Amino acid sequence: MLTITNATIYTPTQRIERGAVLLDAGRIAAVGPADHVPCPPDAQVIDADGLLLTPGFIDLQFNGGFGQDFTDDPTAIWPVAAQLPQHGVTAFLPTIITAPLEKSAAGQRVVTEGRPAGYRGATPLGLHIEGPFLNPTKKGAHNANYLRLATLDAVADWSPATGVRLATLAPELPGALEVIEALSSRGVLISAGHSAATYDEALAGFDAGVRYGTHLFNAMPSLLARDPGLVGALLTDDRPTVGLIADGIHTHPAMIKLIWQTLGPRRLNLVTDAMGALGMPPGTYLLGDYEVIVDDTCCRLASGSLAGSILAMDQALRNLVALTGCPLEEALQTITTTPARAINLDHERGQIAEGYVADLVLLSPDLHVRGTLVGGELVYTAE
Ligand code: ZN
């Protein structure tokens, strides 16, 4: 057993001053003001010394990092995941972009075979398969040679139990609605993205089961006064959770403020969409089949198209707070409770509450990661 005491706890919806948590067998056994949380004599104690304690961050779109790309090599998922706690990420969806379906099948095997012996790091909760059922006119950095129409056969073995948690597709394409209905009935979160859907086509997708939008504003038509399109549908329909790359490059800082004011903490989900260059010096890195030129701030194909990001999740949190001035309680929801709810894991992840998985982050008051626990085990401590 482990007690963390003397922390300002964000559950995240409630703030507890001088709080404590008791962790037992990888779960949260108790949380509250320190004098209300039992401290068994045999429990190890961490004095948080006034640091903030929050739920672990959950990233629903993460292509790779630290020099490796999951689409190029799905076996990189575990070694890359081992480095994610330095950014506060304790659980994530390894994202496989458009590729032959054997690639995502290989990724499914990697995540369903489970953690390697002695593994310490973030937990992959299943894949986010982004493509190949995308609109060629909105392909972004995806390889058009592998784009195809969705069929029930192609997704026959996609389910959370077989390692698929989220699938991004273009709902306006022939056959898509039938596939959306089938996958969502199996518990796969379906997202509209890389799509040229009109407003009406987007609503038809929501009616069929779409409940997420992939990187709002990117790889979809712009919002227009008489043509709201997919962006307008995602912003105004209450059903979907909406993913956003809050690096200030994929969307202008003023748009991030507008999106925040429109969606709020229960519908906005910050993602990184980070690629292999995360945590590496500027240079050339792979995203799927393509070489991506990376400088200090962004990642682009030779054509100039944005291709993933080098955004870390803790930086995304700091960006949202700085750009909107929102309370930390609300900003934290966009990377904890909201993604957990979107993928139907909110009964055990995304909150500091009794019975929940003990995935936790210790943050400094300026929101830098000082320590990270996964399943009750301290897996990262800042120097
Ligand atoms: Zn994308």
* Residues 88-147: tens digit of each pLDDT: 999 999 999 999 999 999 999 999 999 999 999 999 999 999 999 999 999 999 999 999
Place of tokens 């689409």: 71
pLDDT of the residue at 383: 84
Tell how far the Cα of 277 is from the centroid of ligand 1, in angstroms: 16
Task: Tell me the C-alpha to C-alpha distance, in Å, between residue 12 and each of 52, 54, 172.
Answer: 11, 6, 37
Tell how far the Cα of 211 is from the centroid of ligand 1, in angstroms: 16
Tell how far the Cα of 182 is from the centroid of ligand 1, in angstroms: 22
Residue 299 has pLDDT above 90, yes or no: yes
pLDDT of the residue at 224: 97
Cβ neighbours of 238 (radius 10 Å): 7
Neighbour-count burial of 249, counting CB atoms closer than 10 A to its CB (0-12 exposed, 13-18 middle, 19+ buried): middle
Residue 223 has pLDDT above 90, yes or no: yes
Q: Which residues are marked as active site? A: 273
Task: Tell me the C-alpha to C-alpha distance, in Å, between residue 337 and each of 60, 268, 340, 360.
Answer: 12, 11, 5, 13
Helix (H, G, I), strand (E, B) or coil at 377: strand
Tell how far the Cα of 287 is from the centroid of ligand 1, in angstroms: 11
Domains and CATH numbers, the chain: 2-54+352-381 (2.30.40.10), 57-342 (3.20.20.140)
Tell how far the Cα of 219 is from the centroid of ligand 1, in angstroms: 7
pLDDT of the residue at 216: 98
- Cis before residue 12, ω within 30 degrees of 0? yes
Is there a contact between 59 and 314 (Cβ–Cβ < 8 Å)? no
Strand partners, 201: none
Tell how far the Cα of 131 is from the centroid of ligand 1, in angstroms: 9
Residue 240 has pLDDT above 90, yes or no: yes
Tell how far the Cα of 300 is from the centroid of ligand 1, in angstroms: 13
Please give the biggest Cα pair distance in the chain: 66
Is there a contact between 184 and 193 (Cβ–Cβ < 8 Å)? no
Q: At what angle do helices 176-185 and 199-208 cross, to 10 degrees?
A: 30
Is there a contact between 145 and 131 (Cβ–Cβ < 8 Å)? no
pLDDT of the residue at 158: 98
Helix (H, G, I), strand (E, B) or coil at 18: strand
pLDDT of the residue at 39: 87
Q: Residue 23: CB partners within 8 Å, gap ≥ 6? A: 1, 2, 3, 4, 29, 358, 373, 376
pLDDT of the residue at 75: 97
Tell how far the Cα of 140 is from the centroid of ligand 1, in angstroms: 7
Backbone angles phi, psi at 70, to 5 degrees: -70, -30
> Cα–chain-centroid distance for residue 182?
23
Gap between the Cα atoms of 86 and 361, Å rounded: 10
Gap between the Cα atoms of 54 and 192, Å rounded: 30
> Cα–chain-centroid distance for residue 333?
12
